[in-house]
Structure 1
Amino acid sequence: MQSQLPFSDNVKVRFRDLDAQGHLYFANYLVYGDEVLGAYMEELGLDIMDPLVAPCLIFTVNIHCDYINEIGGNSEVRVTVGYSRLGKSSADAVFELYHSDDGTLLAKGGLTQVFVDPKTRKSIPIPAFYRANVLERQPSLAD
């Protein structure tokens, strides 16, 4: 299965990421999606690692995941990410995890991000440069 999402990266499944049954612990599917989404956001110009200089904070207010297949240790997962909706001050990001060897879909899900002023902690419009960079990759999201 091929993903239509605009960004991907591979993640090595480490022993510490497994549960007692020897497959990826369920919460780590979310961690992998979040890690690759963060890399995509940085590529789009939004570096939020230093809250003192970041143009905004991003609060995750909802997250969901559909688990489809298991994956064991010493494997590699291809994580693809993108957006499914851009609102005024919030956006819905989506992720898909695939087994790197055979392309088997492992999980898919998403999260809602709210863009927030670092000082007031109130929602603000998605920064214009970031919106433009997302739309350049995913023009179908234009209003």
Structure 2
Amino acid sequence: MDYAHWDEMPTRWRDNDVYGHLNNVVHYELMDSVINRWLISSAGLDPTGGASIGLCVESRCSYKAEAAYPAVIRIGLRVGRLGTSSVRYELGLFEGERLLAEGEFTHVFVDRRTRRPAPIEGGMRAAMERLVVA
């Protein structure tokens, strides 16, 4: 459970599928939401007006255990790799101490207008460096 940042999100009634557990897409929603909430609150991302934006170019999720509504999911976040214009986030989803899923998202930061890779610099890079766990 070596994660540099933790967040919590409650599940919603609609998150359960016909099989009575959280649908697989909910895990991706939770991970994407935690990453972007952290980027906005801690790394200075301006999603609607900033010069650069992060585009997801790869994601994966490995499911370990079921969960169902109602539940509060704890999400651990760390940076597994920080490149010039890309970052790989690693996440763990937990209900209490029980590991539900592990996932990764890779963002490439690009210029908002040209969509060409843009370096991760300044405060955003410093914030991401704080999430690197050895």
Say if 2:79 is the partner of 1:83.
Answer: yes
Counterpart residue number, 1:43 = 41
Code of the residue aligned with 1:12 in structure 2: it is P
Q: Pairwise mapping of residues 72-111 of structure 1 onto structure 2 (< 5 A)?
A: 72-100=68-96, 103-111=97-105
Write the distance in 1 (CA, Å) between the matches of 2:92 and 2:27.
9
Write the distance in 2 (CA, Å) between the matches of 1:18 and 1:88.
39
Local SS of the residue matching 1:124 = coil
Q: Pairwise mapping of residues 4-15 of structure 1 onto structure 2 (< 5 A)?
A: 4-15=2-13
Q: If the length of structure 1 is used for normalisation, what is the TM-score?
A: 0.87
Q: 1:12 to 1:136 in 2, by over 3 A?
A: closer
Counterpart residue number, 2:119 = 125
Q: 1:115 to 1:95 in 2, by over 3 A?
A: same
Q: Pairwise mapping of residues 15-34 of structure 1 onto structure 2 (< 5 A)?
A: 15-34=13-32
Structure 1 residue 133: Cα displacement: 1.9
Structure 1 residue 114: Cα displacement: 0.2
Q: 1:136 to 1:72 in 2, by over 3 A?
A: closer
Across the aligned residues of Structure 1 and Structure 2, the Cα RMSD in angstroms comes to 1.4
| Alpha-carbon contact 2:77-2:91 (below 8 Å) kept | yes
Percent identical:
27
Structure 1 gap ranges (5+): none
Write the distance in 2 (CA, Å) between the matches of 1:71 and 1:21.
11
| Alpha-carbon contact 2:5-2:131 (below 8 Å) kept | no
Counterpart residue number, 2:55 = 59
Local SS of the residue matching 2:29 = helix
Number of aligned positions between the proteins: 134
